[in-house]
Structures are given as C-alpha cells and as structure tokens.
Amino acid sequence: MKKINKVVIPIAGLGTRMLPATKAVPKEMLPLAGRPIIHYIVNEVIKSGFSEIILVSSEDKTLIERYFEPSPMLESTLKKTQKRSLLKEIKEISEFKIKIRKVNQKDAKGLGHAILCAESLISDEPFAVILPDMVIDSNYKQTNLALMKKHFEKSGLSSILFGKVKKTDVQNYGIAKIKKKLTKNDFFTLGDLIEKPIPKNAPSNLFAAGRYIFNNEILSYLKNEKPDSKGEIQLTGAVSNFLKDSKIINGLHLKGKVHDCGNRLGYLIANLAFSFKDKEIKKEVLKYLKK
C-alpha cells in the first residue's frame, strides 16, 4: 500500500480569537510551558513517522521558519557561558529530522482553500493535515496520527480524529455522524461530518480534533466546493460530499486529551496541563494552585 509522507499544516490564519496577543506574534509561536505551540506540533509529526511538512503560511509569518533554523550567535554564547543543557535543546530544534517547505496563502479563504494552496507540493500523494491550534496531550507511546498513518498504509482508507465535547460546545467544531462502529479497534465508519451544528441538530458529541489523513482524491472534492457565506472554502463540505459518493472515511477516537489553543481559556488550560509535565516547575505550579 502507498506510503504517506507529507503533512500539511495551515498557519496563515489571523488568530482573531487570540488578539491582541496575535497582532504581531503568530498564534503558533505562543508558548506552552516555555515552548512554542508549533514545537509540540512538529514533534508530533516526527514521532508519527512523517518526513515532510508543508506549511501553508502568509508572507509576513517568518518567525515560525526562523524558529527551526540554526542560530549560530545564540549557540556560541550558550557555549561560552557553559549553559550546556540549554545549548543542547536549542541545537536539537534546528536539527529536527524533517524537511519543512512553505507555500503562501494570499487570502484567508478557509481551511479547504489553505489545503488547495499546498496542491503543487502535495503532488499526487496522500497526505495528512494538522490544525496546529489543537494540541494533543497524550501519554500513549503511539501518537493518534501514527495510528491513522498505519491504518492508511494498511487499508488505503482516509481517517479523521475525533475527541468528545460537551453538547453545548458542538457549535464550535465539525461533528461526526457515525455510520458503523468497528469493534476490533478504535475506528468507526464516518457517515457524515457536519460543520458547527446547533446542539439540537448535532448527530453526536464527537468533534474533529484537527488531525486528518486523506487520499489524494479529496483535492478534487475541495476544488468543487463552493465558498460558504463568509466566502471560505470548508474542508467539511468536501468531506461530506466525498462520503455522499459512497467513499469511505473512518473516524478514530482520540487517545489522550486535546487542547484547543485557539481561544484564551483553552490556551490557559493547555499551559497548566503542560506545566504539570515539566519537572522543573510542576511542584510550584501545584502549590500555587492549591493556595
């Protein structure tokens, strides 16, 4: 079966829900317990076994690429001042074993449009999509994305990762309609994907948690998508039409937790959650919270 190597990461969004912090700093560069969000995302991509990232960015967002480039001045200063562990960490970032390429999305015309901007770099291959404001916190050895990748390489089937939300929050996400539960593993057959339904119309409380694996055919569905009322091309519409043509996409139940870092509360909670994983500050954070 075909190997899947490429991951598309759309980062051109304006981050309006996180303004004014995101006026000058891209939301993917905001720190979670000391490391920018994009650091966790790139780590997840590497851990999941992919070899290439396609950043769909905008011209003025250069900080993200710079973060992954070597910084000789900083490295030599850290060497001189004997800050060995910091030096090691800084070097590791620029030595991440992954190819990163970039395309620009000139207008913010939605997630579907962002993926189409990457078409020439995706070429005729299958690909993954990661929405970087959804940060996954999991202690499992295998990432959710690695499971989805294996599933594709074994069966040729596309898949989407789903977490659980409160019924009142379904209107913020793409919500799954389950067609059939697959008993052997954590996958199910997706019947439909409904974008931001009102609670009483939601077919479940399972929301698309920002991890997708697609065969290349989804691109032609995206090209046929009409812009929505905001002028945006949505991925959800293309997924829905793909399913209507009796093609299969499976859903995977998320293992671990997903933090929506695209809003202030989710970002704050993610910061706390990742602080508890940081040996250096964990105890003090807990002490402060108990007070």
**Site residues (vs ligand G1P, CB under 6 A):** 111, 131, 134, 173-174, 195, 207-208, 210, 234-236
Shortest Å, Cβ 113 to ligand G1P: 12
Shortest Å, Cβ 17 to ligand G1P: 9
Shortest Å, Cβ 259 to ligand G1P: 11
Nearest residue to ligand G1P on Cβ basis:
174
**Long-range contacts (CB closer than 8 Å, 24 or more residues apart) made by 246-249:** 247/217, 248/157, 248/158, 248/189, 248/190, 249/157, 249/158, 249/159, 249/160, 249/189, 249/190
Shortest Å, Cβ 173 to ligand G1P: 3
Gap between the Cα atoms of 56 and 26, Å rounded: 13
For ligand G1P, which is the closer residue by CB, 18 or 78? 18
φ/ψ (deg, to 5) at 43: -60, -45
Shortest Å, Cβ 9 to ligand G1P: 13
For ligand G1P, which is the closer residue by CB, 87 or 159? 159
For ligand G1P, which is the closer residue by CB, 173 or 187? 173
For ligand G1P, which is the closer residue by CB, 53 or 235? 235
For ligand G1P, which is the closer residue by CB, 39 or 259? 259
For ligand G1P, which is the closer residue by CB, 87 or 188? 188
Among the listed residues 290, 213, 200, 291, the one whose alpha carbon sits nearest the alpha carbon of residue 252: 213
Q: Are 114 and 56 in contact (CB under 8 A)?
A: yes
246 torsion bin: left (phi>0), alpha (psi -120 to 50), beta (else): left
Shortest Å, Cβ 268 to ligand G1P: 17
Among the listed residues 199, 194, 114, 126, the one whose alpha carbon sits nearest the alpha carbon of residue 162: 194
What distance lies between CA 212 and its chain's CA centroid? 8
